[in-house]
Amino acid sequence: MPIPVTRPLLPPLAEFMPYLEKVWASGTLTNCGDMHRQLEKALADYLGVEHLALMANGTLALVTALQALRITGEVITTPYSFVATAHSLLWNGIKPVFVDVDPATFNLDPAKIEAAITPQTTAIMPVHCYGNPCDTAEIERIAETYNLRVIYDAAHAFGVEDTGGSVLRHGDLSVLSFHATKVFNTFEGGAIICPDARTYRRIGHLKNFGFVDETTVVAPGINGKMSEINAAFGLLQLRHIDQALARRAQIDRMYREQLAGLPGITCMPPRGDGARANHAYFPILVDADFAIGRDALYQHLREHGIHARRYFYPLISDFPMYRGLPSADPERLPVARSASLRILCLPIFPDLADAQVERICELVRLAGREPQAPAAAIPAEAAAPAVADVAAVAA
Ligand SMILES: *Cc1c(COP(=O)(O)O)cnc(C)c1O
């Protein structure tokens, strides 16, 4: 059985039955029923945020968040993310402007944002990549100076806190994904976190075709509602989330201990003030002094049934619908490019066993030794003339 990079948190099926019975008894399957209301309330309490609007998925949440703030023109964003971040802009007829990332966090580099602002710029869409908080203070300063809105793609940041509280309180809006691959899942799902009741109400209209009441439609809204079944599953999931996060933290510690000091392998250090991390991913960097390249390590693990993933390779700016943009020029995105060529996310999920973590680390260590045996068999002197010959030819 191959080990995937993640496996959804699935509580025992028997625990879900009482929720299903309630849905059946109510006869309400969607359109913001009881389960939907309960989950919005429970999640806002758990996350420590004021208003939370459930959505059918994270992508529709991003698309709707942009519409809620009436964003147009150009939006500054990161090329180092899941493709849905930039897609949400295209779905709104907005031009993405890619800005390079910070070398320590791979989050949007605030030092490079100002140079990308034009008269058409209306907003910034940063991503808390791997659940590591962005430099929210600096992004806020820039947004205030230039009168820009900030929408955080917080798809990776469920439950993440800095010393001031939930990272979801930053910016004008934050967007969560509850996709099956995320830390907290409702099979498919998402949410928009907003600071005021007025925006929450507008999102309520936008996710329901623009309906305000039976006969009034105020915007060309989408159908972005979460169903009662998905919401019910979220309520069950919430009962298990603390345990799941604790297990992720253990796995994270095991990886760091077992991969420590391995030449050419760097475990990405947790960022922010680390008040509360969610260990959504376990990213490592494979550098030139590792015995084999990143893609060879990826392949090696795959051959042994370990499905590590190259999040995020390729960069969003390399996909055909983006690569023609001036801001997608690889020369302008050297840090993101370097990250995407070195990154590998190792499996991490609550049901991953200690023995599996050990096996993955052992496979990485063995891969690190692989070509050294044949290389050592060739004496250094024997190799030297060949290099000289090449040099002579080149001259
Ligand atoms: C998963 C993800 C999304 C999309 O969320 P869905 O719920 O799958 O639509 C958007 N942005 C990022 C960074 C993601 O990881």
Structural element, H or E, at residue 204: helix 197-206
DSSP state, residue 3: B
> Residue 262: CA atoms inside 13 Å, Cβ hemisphere, count?
25
What pLDDT, on the 0 to 100 scale, is given for residue 370? 63
- Mean pLDDT of the region 99-128: 98
pTM, two decimal places:
0.93
Mean pLDDT for the chain? 93
Task: Say if residue 390's pLDDT is above 70.
Answer: no
Contact assessment for residue 240 and residue 11, using Cβ atoms and an 8 Å cutoff: yes
CA 291 – CA 371 distance, rounded (Å):
6
What are the tens digits of pLDDT across the range 280-337?
Answer: 999 999 999 999 999 999 999 999 999 999 999 999 999 999 999 999 999 999 999 9
CA 138 – CA 146 distance, rounded (Å):
12
CA 66 – CA 50 distance, rounded (Å):
19
Co-location of 196 and 79 in the same domain:
yes
What pLDDT, on the 0 to 100 scale, is given for residue 384? 38
CA of 20 to the centre of ligand 1 (A): 27
CA of 99 to the centre of ligand 1 (A): 19
How would residue 193 be classed by pLDDT, with cut points 50, 70 and 90? very high
Nearest to 300 by CA among 286, 314, 311, 316: 286
- Mean pLDDT of the region 183-208: 97
Of residues 375 and 236, the one with the higher pLDDT is 236
Co-location of 73 and 141 in the same domain:
yes
Does the beta carbon of 190 sit less than 6 angstroms from any atom of ligand 1? yes
DSSP state, residue 193: E
Domain finish residue from 206, 238, 270 = 238
CA of 317 to the centre of ligand 1 (A): 17
For the chain, the distance separating the N- and C-terminal CA atoms, rounded to the nearest angstrom, is: 54
CA 132 – CA 155 distance, rounded (Å):
11
Co-location of 190 and 248 in the same domain:
no
Co-location of 197 and 255 in the same domain:
no
What pLDDT, on the 0 to 100 scale, is given for residue 371? 55
Q: What angle do CA 162, 166, 167 make, to 5 degrees?
A: 70
DSSP string, 37-92: HHHHHHHHHHHT-SEEEEES-HHHHHHHHHHHTT--SEEEE-SSS-THHHHHHHTT
Residue to substitute in 90, 177, 178 for testing ligand 1 pocket (most ligand atoms within 8 angstroms of CB): 177
319 token code pair: 């996909």
Does the beta carbon of 58 sit less than 6 angstroms from any atom of ligand 1? yes
| Count of structural domains, the chain | 2
Domain finish residue from 222, 238, 254 = 238
What pLDDT, on the 0 to 100 scale, is given for residue 395? 30
CA 231 – CA 39 distance, rounded (Å):
6
What are the tens digits of pLDDT across the range 53-80?
Answer: 999 999 999 999 999 999 999 999 999 9
Task: Say if residue 36's pLDDT is above 80.
Answer: yes
Could you tell me if residue 164 is inside a domain?
A: yes
What pLDDT, on the 0 to 100 scale, is given for residue 394? 34
Co-location of 207 and 292 in the same domain:
no
Does the beta carbon of 82 sit less than 6 angstroms from any atom of ligand 1? yes
What pLDDT, on the 0 to 100 scale, is given for residue 274? 67
Does the beta carbon of 177 sit less than 6 angstroms from any atom of ligand 1? yes
Does the beta carbon of 67 sit less than 6 angstroms from any atom of ligand 1? no
What pLDDT, on the 0 to 100 scale, is given for residue 218? 96
How would residue 49 be classed by pLDDT, with cut points 50, 70 and 90? very high
Domain finish residue from 219, 238, 257 = 238
What pLDDT, on the 0 to 100 scale, is given for residue 354? 98
Could you tell me if residue 395 is inside a domain?
A: no
What are the tens digits of pLDDT across the range 212-233?
Answer: 999 999 999 999 999 999 999 9
Of residues 353 and 395, the one with the higher pLDDT is 353
CA of 48 to the centre of ligand 1 (A): 21
Question: Strand 265-267 vs strand 282-286: parallel, antiparallel, or unpaired?
Answer: antiparallel
Secondary-structure breakdown of the chain: helix, strand, coil percentages, each rounded to the nearest 5: 45, 15, 40
Co-location of 46 and 170 in the same domain:
yes
- Mean pLDDT of the region 252-268: 96
Contacts of 85 (CB under 8 A, 6+ apart): 62, 77, 78, 125, 127, 153, 316
What pLDDT, on the 0 to 100 scale, is given for residue 1? 87
Query: What's the CATH number where 298 sits?
Result: 3.90.1150.10
Backbone dihedral region for residue 152 (phi beyond 0: left; psi -120 to 50: alpha; all else: beta):
beta
Question: Strand 74-77 vs strand 121-125: parallel, antiparallel, or unpaired?
Answer: parallel
Co-location of 110 and 175 in the same domain:
yes
Co-location of 228 and 345 in the same domain:
no
Going from the C-alpha of 178 to that of each of 9, 39, 60, 182, 261, the distances in angstroms are 11, 12, 12, 6, 35
Co-location of 57 and 79 in the same domain:
yes
Does the beta carbon of 59 sit less than 6 angstroms from any atom of ligand 1? yes
Co-location of 157 and 193 in the same domain:
yes
Query: What's the CATH number where 45 sits?
Result: 3.40.640.10
How would residue 196 be classed by pLDDT, with cut points 50, 70 and 90? very high
Task: Say if residue 373's pLDDT is above 60.
Answer: no
How would residue 391 be classed by pLDDT, with cut points 50, 70 and 90? very low
141 token code pair: 């300063």
Length of the chain: 395
Contacts of 122 (CB under 8 A, 6+ apart): 71, 72, 73, 74, 75, 148, 149
What pLDDT, on the 0 to 100 scale, is given for residue 270? 75
Could you tell me if residue 394 is inside a domain?
A: no
CA of 83 to the centre of ligand 1 (A): 8
Q: Tell the residue number behind the tokens 């915007």, with chain if given.
A: 219
Does the beta carbon of 57 sit less than 6 angstroms from any atom of ligand 1? yes
Q: How many CB atoms lie within 10 A of CB 61?
A: 33
Of residues 392 and 309, the one with the higher pLDDT is 309
Could you tell me if residue 298 is inside a domain?
A: yes
How would residue 269 be classed by pLDDT, with cut points 50, 70 and 90? confident
Co-location of 53 and 172 in the same domain:
yes
| Least confident segment among 116-130, 183-197, 377-391 | 377-391
Task: Say if residue 387's pLDDT is above 50.
Answer: no
Q: Tell the residue number behind the tokens 């060739």, with chain if given.
A: 378
Could you tell me if residue 94 is inside a domain?
A: yes
Contact assessment for residue 226 and residue 189, using Cβ atoms and an 8 Å cutoff: yes
CA of 302 to the centre of ligand 1 (A): 24
- Mean pLDDT of the region 109-115: 98
What pLDDT, on the 0 to 100 scale, is given for residue 378? 43
Share of the chain above pLDDT 70, in %: 92
Task: Say if residue 386's pLDDT is above 60.
Answer: no
Could you tell me if residue 199 is inside a domain?
A: yes
Going from the C-alpha of 382 to that of each of 387, 388, 390, 394, the distances in angstroms are 10, 11, 14, 20
Task: Say if residue 271's pLDDT is above 90.
Answer: no
DSSP string, 277-341: -----EEEEE-TTSSS-HHHHHHHHHHTTB--B-TT-S-GGGSTTTTTSGGG-GGG-HHHHHHHH
Co-location of 273 and 226 in the same domain:
no
The parent domain of residue 68 ranges over 3-238
What pLDDT, on the 0 to 100 scale, is given for residue 55? 98
- Tell me if residue 151 falls in helix, strand or coil: strand
